[in-house]
Chain A
Amino acid sequence: MNFLDHIAFIPLLPLLGAFIQLLFGRKLRNSEVSLVSVGLPGVSFAWAVGCFIELLGRPEHTVVTNLYTWLPAGAFHLANGSMGNLTVHVGFQLDPLSAVMLLVVTGVGFLIHIYSIGYMGHEGGYYRFFGYLNLFMFSMLVLILANNYLMMFVGWEGVGLCSYLLIGFYFQRKSAGDAGKKAFIVNRIGDAGFLMGVMLMTVTFGTLNFADVTQAARSGQYAVGNGVITAICILLFIGATGKSAQIPLYIWLPDAMEGPTPVSALIHAATMVTAGVYMVARSNALFVLAPTALEIVAVIGAATAIWAASIALVQNDIKKVLAYSTVSQLGYMFLACGVGAFAAGIFHVMTHAFFKALLFLGAGSVIHAMSGEQDMRKMGGLMKKIPITFYTLLAATLAISGVPGLAGFFSKDEILWQSFSSPHGSTFLWAIGWITAGMTAFYMFRLLFMTFAGPSRVDHEVEHHIHESPWTMLGPLTVLAGLSVVGGYLNWPVESFGKFLEPVFDNPSAAHAVEYSHSTELMLMGLSIAIAFAGIGVAYAFYVKRAATPERLAAAPGTAETILLNKYYVDELYDALFVNRTKDLGNGLAAFDMSVVDGAVNGAGWLTRTIATISRLWDEWVVDGIVNVAAYATKLISYPVLMVQNGLVQSYALLIVMGVLIFMAYYLIHF
């Protein structure tokens, strides 16, 4: 059985699941829903593993399968005058890059589906949740496996839609509906940039296939620093800022925590938000030709990393901390891509998927144990009560903090080294990344300590219900914890991961790296480890040594803390600049519509009625008047005439006699 030939099954099986749930799911029992909607992604994962193993066995590193031709658009003139022939297929491409993403998405996705059985088991709309989750898997897999930009965009839009549906899952809450709308609208702003980039690409290259575009970019036709290519890359990156929550379009991700925790884990940690990184990595041939665009990517990545980390330092909601952490880590991935270290960026995508999904699922387990409480100020001392959750979360926190030996250390350290040593990198970028690493360690351990250590600040009623989660939730936690520990060794001691991805990122015009000595690398590694432990130490000092008592935590925040708690007032700024101005425009247009347009319509109506009234008056007074006057004239004439009929026989006789006399006179005169 050839897995690669039928690679289309991988996205189509979850689509089938979504189809079943959204059409018939209401009539199914929870167990049946679970069987279908967790089983089908499971089969997809197995199939993906099969495809991956087959890919390893093949001599060529890319396998493209076209299902059918979607747009046989035909010949047209390109910007440089030559003829292009745009044909877009519904096709799938499996190469090292998409294989890595595929395994991560299907694997972590499958684990999260299993987790959701336990987490969402008592919620209403169980079938709806799994239907949307399966639809998301389908869209994400289309995005990853697509072999051209247009198919990728289909998946891109699909995951945006599913994000909206899942964030607003608890639609009875206004805040959830608002968050869903915010996510979708902000996403769309990015998508506008993405589409413009795709359109520019069409008139420049005449094709949208990854293979053809990459080949054209690497052929030497375009000089490094070409303006059109730079424009394309910047526009594509705008799309990435929307989807992957970078400055300036990151504002939707913290609000997206309104959705159920498995959604936060899957969509806003492991998969959807990494679509932007994947897209930039896929377009690496183009980005390498546009150093300005790479610089923008790196700077925005680094800026986002430190910006979001600073906000995460003071947040009290456990999920909000993780949300800002995700934004920050995505900044790292873009920093990596921006300095040309695409493989390092993808490596971090993979390890981040493991430990961030674990962090979210673990947080979900804590919230589940705490009967829905998410405020860390009301937690504490949970270590003994939910031990398995604690240990898995500990593994994830160690990983994200970059403690040596776990997955996060290998990927983050690689990024920091590349941002220092790459020809596109600089010491400044490294410094930002380094400081952010320290902040990451601090706020993650602050989360851990506030939740699990110290005295218990839990409410009394909640305290009685604290229990460890069911195995459907703990199983995925353990698996992910294992991956968070061993996942990094894919690239150590030999760079097998990097070598595996080499064919995808092999650019002839890539700037050559300056050779640094091994000792510099070790020194930087030491600095990274040092600041990680420094962050952990500060967190320990603040939250364990000085006991995290409720009074101290409830103390009024100072000015700096208030600014950070209010997320630098960015949402308020956007409200004033864009949202309210758009609403004003809407109101203005509505007023225009009411007064001018409706006024014109009403005026036309008034005019018609007035003309009708005049018509009526004309008809009544003039036309009827003429008729009446005629009758009146006749009546007037009749008055003298009817005087003849006076009823007196004698006067009638007189008329007879007079007639006779007239006749006689006539005859007498004429004869």
Chain B
Amino acid sequence: MIPISWYLYLGTGLFTIGVIGVLTRRNVIIILMSIELILNAVNINLVAFSQMFHNVDGQVFAIFVITDAAAEAAVGLGLIIALFRNKETVNADEIDLLKW
């Protein structure tokens, strides 16, 4: 069988790439995509543990997370549209109105 640690390493790797993406990418859509990556990395973790413990709870949780991710993507895109209407930009480092 494939050792669970490989799945976890994958999950960690994806999570890290996602976090780095959220933190460093300039385009807000890319940030959204990175958030999806994070969520998916969590999903891999959940499913890997579900398979290891032969328990279907992990998979059910993963379904919830997917649903949640979808809703969140919809809302997030809506936010971006609203933001773009106000500031004409999709660069995260140009949105600094709540500066000191």
> Hey, which chain A residues are within 8 Å of B19, CB to CB?
657
Within 8 A of A (CB), among B4-26: 19, 22-24
Tell me whether B99 is interfacial, beta carbon within 8 Å. Answer: yes
Selecting from A349-357, A480-488, A561-569, A645-653, the interface stretch reads A645-653
Interface residue from A647, A654, A657 paired with B96 (Cβ < 8 Å): A647
* Number of residues of chain B lying within 8 A (CB) of chain A: 13
Per the bound structure, the CA–CA distance linking A649 and B23 in Å amounts to 9
Per the bound structure, the CA–CA distance linking A5 and B98 in Å amounts to 116
Interface residue from A647, A650, A653, A654 paired with B99 (Cβ < 8 Å): A647
Per the bound structure, the CA–CA distance linking A649 and B93 in Å amounts to 8
Tell me whether A642 is interfacial, beta carbon within 8 Å. Answer: yes
> Hey, which chain B residues are within 8 Å of A646, CB to CB?
96, 99-100
Tell me whether B97 is interfacial, beta carbon within 8 Å. Answer: yes
Is the Cβ of A642 less than 8 Å from the Cβ of B92?
A: no
> Hey, which chain B residues are within 8 Å of A653, CB to CB?
22-23
Is the Cβ of B23 less than 8 Å from the Cβ of A650?
A: yes
Is the Cβ of B96 less than 8 Å from the Cβ of A648?
A: yes
Is the Cβ of A647 less than 8 Å from the Cβ of B24?
A: no
Is the Cβ of B31 less than 8 Å from the Cβ of A647?
A: no
Per the bound structure, the CA–CA distance linking A653 and B92 in Å amounts to 12
Q: Would you give the shortest CB distance from B93 to chain A, in whole angstroms?
A: 6
Tell me whether B95 is interfacial, beta carbon within 8 Å. Answer: yes
Is the Cβ of B93 less than 8 Å from the Cβ of A650?
A: yes
> Hey, which chain A residues are within 8 Å of B22, CB to CB?
650, 653
Q: Would you give the shortest CB distance from B15 to chain A, in whole angstroms?
A: 11
Is the Cβ of A657 less than 8 Å from the Cβ of B95?
A: no
> Hey, which chain B residues are within 8 Å of A650, CB to CB?
22-24, 31, 92-93
Chain B: which residue is nearest A643 at the CB level? B100
> Hey, which chain B residues are within 8 Å of A654, CB to CB?
23
| B57-100 vs A, Cβ < 8 Å mask (1 yes, 0 no) | 00000000000000000000000000000000000110111111
Chain B: which residue is nearest A661 at the CB level? B19
Interface residue from B24, B93, B95, B99 paired with A645 (Cβ < 8 Å): B99
Chain A: which residue is nearest B20 at the CB level? A657
> Hey, which chain A residues are within 8 Å of B95, CB to CB?
647-649
Is the Cβ of B96 less than 8 Å from the Cβ of A642?
A: no
> Hey, which chain A residues are within 8 Å of B31, CB to CB?
650
Per the bound structure, the CA–CA distance linking A646 and B94 in Å amounts to 11
Is the Cβ of B100 less than 8 Å from the Cβ of A642?
A: yes
Most buried by A among B31, B97, B98: B98
| A620-662 vs B, Cβ < 8 Å mask (1 yes, 0 no) | 0000000000000000000000110111111001100100000
Within 8 A of B (CB), among A425-471: none
Per the bound structure, the CA–CA distance linking A209 and B31 in Å amounts to 129
> Hey, which chain A residues are within 8 Å of B96, CB to CB?
646-648
Per the bound structure, the CA–CA distance linking A650 and B30 in Å amounts to 12
Interface residue from B23, B93, B100 paired with A657 (Cβ < 8 Å): B23
Q: Would you give the shortest CB distance from A628 to chain B, in whole angstroms?
A: 22
Q: Would you give the shortest CB distance from A653 to chain B, in whole angstroms?
A: 6
| A386-423 vs B, Cβ < 8 Å mask (1 yes, 0 no) | 00000000000000000000000000000000000000
Per the bound structure, the CA–CA distance linking A645 and B23 in Å amounts to 16
> Hey, which chain A residues are within 8 Å of B98, CB to CB?
645, 647
Q: Would you give the shortest CB distance from B42 to chain A, in whole angstroms?
A: 14
Per the bound structure, the CA–CA distance linking A643 and B92 in Å amounts to 17
Per the bound structure, the CA–CA distance linking A650 and B31 in Å amounts to 9
Per the bound structure, the CA–CA distance linking A644 and B83 in Å amounts to 23
Per the bound structure, the CA–CA distance linking A650 and B32 in Å amounts to 12
Per the bound structure, the CA–CA distance linking A645 and B98 in Å amounts to 8
Is the Cβ of B99 less than 8 Å from the Cβ of A649?
A: no
Q: Would you give the shortest CB distance from B45 to chain A, in whole angstroms?
A: 16
Per the bound structure, the CA–CA distance linking A535 and B13 in Å amounts to 159
Per the bound structure, the CA–CA distance linking A646 and B96 in Å amounts to 6
Chain A: which residue is nearest B93 at the CB level? A648
Q: Would you give the shortest CB distance from B19 to chain A, in whole angstroms?
A: 6
Q: Would you give the shortest CB distance from A293 to chain B, in whole angstroms?
A: 109
Per the bound structure, the CA–CA distance linking A654 and B20 in Å amounts to 9
> Hey, which chain A residues are within 8 Å of B24, CB to CB?
650
Chain A: which residue is nearest B94 at the CB level? A648
> Hey, which chain A residues are within 8 Å of B23, CB to CB?
650, 653-654, 657
Per the bound structure, the CA–CA distance linking A162 and B98 in Å amounts to 100
Per the bound structure, the CA–CA distance linking A646 and B24 in Å amounts to 15
Per the bound structure, the CA–CA distance linking A154 and B32 in Å amounts to 121
> Hey, which chain A residues are within 8 Å of B93, CB to CB?
648, 650
Per the bound structure, the CA–CA distance linking A650 and B26 in Å amounts to 9
Chain A: which residue is nearest B24 at the CB level? A650
Is the Cβ of A645 less than 8 Å from the Cβ of B100?
A: yes
Q: Would you give the shortest CB distance from A651 to chain B, in whole angstroms?
A: 8
Per the bound structure, the CA–CA distance linking A654 and B23 in Å amounts to 6
Per the bound structure, the CA–CA distance linking A653 and B31 in Å amounts to 11
Most buried by A among B19, B92, B100: B100
Per the bound structure, the CA–CA distance linking A542 and B22 in Å amounts to 146
Q: Would you give the shortest CB distance from B5 to chain A, in whole angstroms?
A: 17
Per the bound structure, the CA–CA distance linking A646 and B92 in Å amounts to 12
> Hey, which chain B residues are within 8 Å of A648, CB to CB?
92-93, 95-96
Chain B: which residue is nearest A660 at the CB level? B19
Chain A: which residue is nearest B25 at the CB level? A650
> Hey, which chain B residues are within 8 Å of A649, CB to CB?
92, 95
Per the bound structure, the CA–CA distance linking A448 and B92 in Å amounts to 135
Interface residue from A642, A647, A657 paired with B97 (Cβ < 8 Å): A647
Q: Would you give the shortest CB distance from A166 to chain B, in whole angstroms?
A: 97
Within 8 A of B (CB), among A340-380: none
Q: Would you give the shortest CB distance from B47 to chain A, in whole angstroms?
A: 23
Q: Would you give the shortest CB distance from B76 to chain A, in whole angstroms?
A: 12
> Hey, which chain A residues are within 8 Å of B97, CB to CB?
647
| B21-51 vs A, Cβ < 8 Å mask (1 yes, 0 no) | 0111000000100000000000000000000
Most buried by A among B19, B24, B31, B97: B19
Per the bound structure, the CA–CA distance linking A261 and B84 in Å amounts to 120
> Hey, which chain A residues are within 8 Å of B99, CB to CB?
645-647
> Hey, which chain B residues are within 8 Å of A645, CB to CB?
98-100
Per the bound structure, the CA–CA distance linking A630 and B31 in Å amounts to 43
Per the bound structure, the CA–CA distance linking A650 and B35 in Å amounts to 12
Q: Would you give the shortest CB distance from B35 to chain A, in whole angstroms?
A: 10
6 shortest interchain CB distances as A-B pairs: A647-B96, A647-B99, A642-B100, A647-B98, A645-B100, A654-B23
Interface CB pairs A-B, < 8 A, 7: A645-B98, A646-B99, A646-B100, A647-B95, A647-B97, A650-B92, A657-B19
Q: Given A646-B99, A647-B96, A653-B22, list of 5 further CB < 8 A pairs? A: A645-B99, A646-B100, A647-B97, A647-B99, A648-B93
